[in-house]
Chain A
C-alpha cells in the first residue's frame, strides 16, 4: 500500500536554500534582540511586543502541551507566533501573557530554582503546567494550539495526513482501498 513518508526529508535544494537541515533538540532555540531563533537561525519568530524570553516560554509550553517528537520546534514557533502580533494591538492581552509566564516561571523557580524552559525533563515541566491547567491562560494557549499547530499543512505531512485531494483527482487511483495487511 502507498504509505506516507512522515520523516523530515532534506533535499539538496532545501539545504542550499536555507540551511534548514538541523535536527530538533541538538541545539536548543535561543533568544535574542526582537525574536526567538532556531538552531543556526534556521527559523525565527518575532518578539517585538512580548519579551523574547516570554515567546520562548510559549514555544516550549506548546511543545509540552502537544509533544510530537517528529515535529521540530519551528512548527511550535509558528503555532504561537501570532501572540506577539496580538500583544502589539491589545495591551491587556500583552499584560496577561507576561504576567502568566512570570507566574509559571515563579512556580518553576520555587520548585527547581530555574525558569520553566530550563527545567530539563518534560515530565517535570508538565507537572508545572498541571498547576495552571484549567485556568484561562492555559486554556487559551491550549485551545489556540488545536488550530495553530494542527492546521499547518507541513504538520499534516509529518503526522501522515495528505490533506486536499480533489485537485489530484481524489484517492480513487491513489490508494483509497490499498490496505493489504488484513
Chain B
C-alpha cells in the first residue's frame, strides 16, 4: 500500500506533530516499511517561502493560537498570551531552531541521586542512562550533520563569537568554541554550507541548518510509506472498550473534523499541546485524560532557566551577521553546588535583529535609557544563558475552564513560577555574562529577562514506575500500550543543554522499539 492512506485504514501509525520528535519518528518508521500518517497542525512551507524578516517570519510560522498564562514568571507579564515561541508548520520548531546539538551529561539523567532532595522540586532520575542513549546520539548526530562530530569541521566564528571568545579567555573559561551545530560547515546530505545569513530563526534560506522539513520528511515520503497531512490539528485521541487507542479526530483548515483510524498513535505536539491533547481526550474510562493514572500529565512543565546578556562596546560588532548561535561556553554547565545552586547552564552567543531586539531587550521599558541602547545596536554583542530548571508539580499545562479554540477544544493555560534554584542560577549567569563582556571592554551591559519559552519540556515525564510519570523508558505510555509520546514532554528533568538533539535521539530509539513491538504483535 502507498500513501495517501484511507481514513478508515486502522493499520497505520499516526504521528501527531512534525517537529524534532514527530518529524524524526514518522520518516524513520516509513523507512522501516511501516505505514505512517503524519498529522501537522500548521501549513507546509518550503525554503522558498522563508523570509529574512523577523516579524513577517514570526507571523508566518509561530504558533499564535490563543493561550493564557499564570504564575509569577515574567513572561506572564510581558507576553501573557505567548508563553512559548514555537512553530506551527511542517517541520515544527526545527524550522526556527538555532541548531545547537549537545548531548546531555551523565549526571543529568540522575538528578534525584546527584542533587538530592531539593525542597519544592519534583526531581527524579530518568529510567535510562547516557549509556543507553549513546548509540542513538551517534546516529542522530550523523543524520543531522552535527559539527565537531563525524569528522565534520566546526563553523567559522562570526563577530559575535570573536567577542565571546576573547571574554572567555580573559575569564579563564576552557570550553569556548563555535559549538556542535546541526548547520553544515560544508555541503552534506544534499544541503548547502552555511552562508552566514544571520536568519537562523526565520527558516534557513540555504537549507544549511538541519530541519525535519527538508531533511527527514522527504526521505520518508520517498518510501511511499509516509503521508504528511498539513493543516490537520488533532483535537482528540479515541480508544476502545479495552482501553487501546483506535484513532484520532482532527480539524482541517476549513474547520471540518475527520477521524483517522490507527494501530498506534504517537503524540509529538510539543510540551504544551501534547498534554493538552491527552487531557482533552478524557472519557468515561479515562476521566482525567489519557495516560494520566499518575496525575502527572501536564505537570512538571520546564522551560529552562533562561536569560540573556547584551553588551555595548565603543567599536562596532555587527553581531547580526552570521550564525545566530555562533559560539558556546560549557564551563558553567557542570554541577557545582558551591555556586549556590544545583545543575548548570550553557552560555551561547545569540543575536536578535533590530525589530526583535526592540521587543525583547527589556519588554515594557521606554525613554532615553532604552532608546540609547538601540542607538548602539551595531555596537552590541549578545549571549543567551540556558540552564537546567527545577521540575515543580504546580508548574503545569492545564485546560482553560471556559475559553475554547475554533474546534471547540479548551485552550491551554501555562502556569509557571521560578524555583529559588532557577533564580539563583539566573543571577549567577547574568553576573558571569556581564563579567565576560566587561573583560573585553564593554561600556554597558544588559541583564535581559527570559523570552517566551523555546524549550518546553517535561509535561509527560518518563519514569520507571507508572505511579511517578506518564511514559516508560521507550516513551510508551504506562497506561496504554499503543499510545506513545515522542517529543520533549518525555523529559524527566531538563538538563542544561538545548534539547533538540536529545528529542531526535529518543525518537530514533523509539522508532526501533515501535517496529520491534509491531513485529512481535505486541501493539
Q: How far is the CB of A67 from chain B (nearest CB, A)?
A: 5
Residue of A nearest to B197 (CB): A170
Contact yes or no, A169 B195, CB < 8 A: yes
Max chain A C-beta neighbours (<10 A), residue from B55, B354, B358, B375: B354
Whether B162 and A172, one on each chain, are in contact in the complex, defined by CB atoms closer than 8 angstroms, is no
Q: Identify which of B51, B55, B316 contacts A160 (C-beta below 8 A).
A: B316
B304-325 near A? 1/0 per residue, CB < 8 Å: 0000000000011110111000
A146 touches B359 (CB 8 A): yes
B159 contacts A151, C-beta separation under 8 Å: no
B199 sits at the interface (CB 8 A): yes
A60 CB, min distance to chain B CBs, angstroms: 14
Q: Which of A45-85 contact B (CB under 8 A)?
A: 64-70
B378 touches A4 (CB 8 A): yes
Interface residues of B in 373-407 (CB under 8 A from A): 374-379
Q: Which of B128-160 contact A (CB under 8 A)?
A: 156-159
**A177 contact from B159, B205, B364, Cβ within 8 A:** B159
Residues of B within 8 A of A64 (CB): 367
Chain B residues with Cβ below 8 Å from A181 are 315
B440 touches A151 (CB 8 A): no
B52 at the interface (CB under 8 A from A): yes
Is A66 within 8 A of B52, CB to CB? no
Give the residue of B159, B163, B377 whose beta carbon is less than 8 angstroms from that of A161.
B377
- Of B166, B198, B366, the residue contacting A171 (CB under 8 A) is B198
Q: Decide yes or no: A65 and B195 within 8 Å by CB, A151-B55, A166-B52, A176-B322 being known contacts.
A: no
| B 343-386 binary contact with A (CB < 8 Å = 1; else 0) | 00000000001110111000010111011001111110000000
Q: Chain A 137-168, CB within 8 Å of chain B: the 1/0 string?
A: 00000100011011100011001111111110
Docked-complex contact A172 and B196, CB < 8 angstroms = yes
A51 to B399, CA, bound (A): 46
Cα–Cα distance between A66 and B368 once the two chains are bound (Å): 7
Whether, in the assembled complex, B106 has its beta carbon less than 8 Å from a beta carbon of chain A, the answer is no
Q: Quick check: A67 and B321 within 8 Å, CB to CB?
A: no
Across the interface, A68 reaches (CB within 8 A) one of B162, B359, B374, namely: B374
CB-CB < 8 A to B5: which residues of A? none
A residues in contact with B322, CB < 8 Å: 170-172, 176-177
In-complex Cβ contact of B199 among A142, A165, A172 (8 A)? A165
Q: Shortest beta-carbon distance, A153 to chain B, in Å?
A: 9
Question: What does DSSP make chain B's interface, helix, strand, loop or mixed?
Answer: loop
Q: Residue B53 at the A interface, CB < 8 A?
A: yes
Residues of B within 8 A of A149 (CB): 358
Chain B residues, Cβ within 8 Å of A142: 364, 366
The answer to whether B321 and A150 have CB atoms under 8 Å apart is no
- Smallest CB separation, B328 vs chain A (Å): 17
Residues of B within 8 A of A163 (CB): 52-53, 353
B206 interfacial contact with A, CB 8 Å: yes
A177 touches B158 (CB 8 A): yes
Q: What residues of B have a CB within 8 angstroms of the CB of A69 in the complex? A: 375
**Assuming the A-B contacts A65-B366, A151-B355, are A170 and B196 also in contact, with contact meaning beta carbons closer than 8 angstroms in the complex?**
yes
Cβ contact within 8 Å between A159 and B196:
no
Closest to B159 in A: A179
Chain A residues, Cβ within 8 Å of B195: 166, 169-172
Q: Which of A68, A133, A176 has the most CB of B within 10 A?
A: A176
- Interface magnitude class on chain B: 35 or more
Q: Does A175 contact B (CB under 8 A)?
A: yes
Contacts of B377 in A (CB 8 A): 159-161
Given contacts A159-B378, A160-B316, A182-B440, contact A176 B321 (CB under 8 A): yes
B366 in contact with A66 (CB, 8 Å): yes
- With a cutoff of 8 Å between Cβ atoms, the chain B residues found around residue A177 in the complex are 156-159, 162, 322
Contacting residues of chain A (23-37) with chain B, CB-CB under 8 angstroms:
none
**Complex formed: what's the CA distance from A161 to B376 in Å?**
10
| Shortest Cβ gap from A178 to chain B (Å) | 7
CB atoms of B159 and A166 under 8 A apart: no
Across-interface contacts of B364 in A (CB, < 8 A)? 142
- CB-based contact A67/B367 at 8 Å: yes
CB distance from A133 to the nearest CB of B (A): 8
Q: Give the complex CA separation of A172 and B158 in angstroms.
A: 9
Distance A160 CA – B159 CA, assembled complex (angstroms): 15
Contacts of B440 in A (CB 8 A): 182
Q: Given A170-B206, A171-B198, A176-B322: A66 and B162 within 8 A (CB)?
A: no
Instruction: Name the A residues within 8 Å of B374 (CB-CB).
Output: 66, 68, 150, 159
B201 to chain A, nearest CB (A): 13
A62 → B minimal CB distance (Å): 10
A6 within 8 A of B: yes
| Bound form: Cα–Cα A172–B359 in Å | 27
Interface contact A165-B198, CB-CB below 8 Å: yes
Q: Which residue from chain B places its CB closest to the CB of A2 in the assembled complex?
A: B318
Shortest CB distance B56–A (Å):
9
> Would you list 16 pairs from A and B whose C-beta atoms are within 8 A, ordered by A residue?
A65-B366, A65-B367, A66-B366, A66-B371, A66-B374, A142-B366, A162-B318, A165-B199, A167-B52, A170-B194, A170-B196, A170-B206, A171-B158, A175-B159, A175-B321, A176-B158
Q: Which residues of B are at the interface with A, using a C-beta cutoff of 8 A?
A: 51-53, 55, 156-159, 162-163, 166, 194-199, 205-206, 315-318, 320-322, 353-355, 357-359, 364, 366-368, 370-371, 374-379, 440
Residues of chain A touching chain B, judged by Cβ–Cβ distance below 8 Å, are 1-4, 6, 64-70, 122, 126, 133, 142, 146-147, 149-151, 155-156, 159-167, 169-172, 174-179, 181-182
3 interchain residue pairs of minimum CB distance:
A160-B378, A170-B195, A164-B52
Inter-chain pairs besides A3-B318, A66-B371, A171-B322, 11 sampled, C-beta below 8 Å: A4-B316, A67-B367, A70-B375, A151-B355, A163-B52, A163-B353, A170-B194, A170-B206, A177-B158, A178-B159, A181-B315
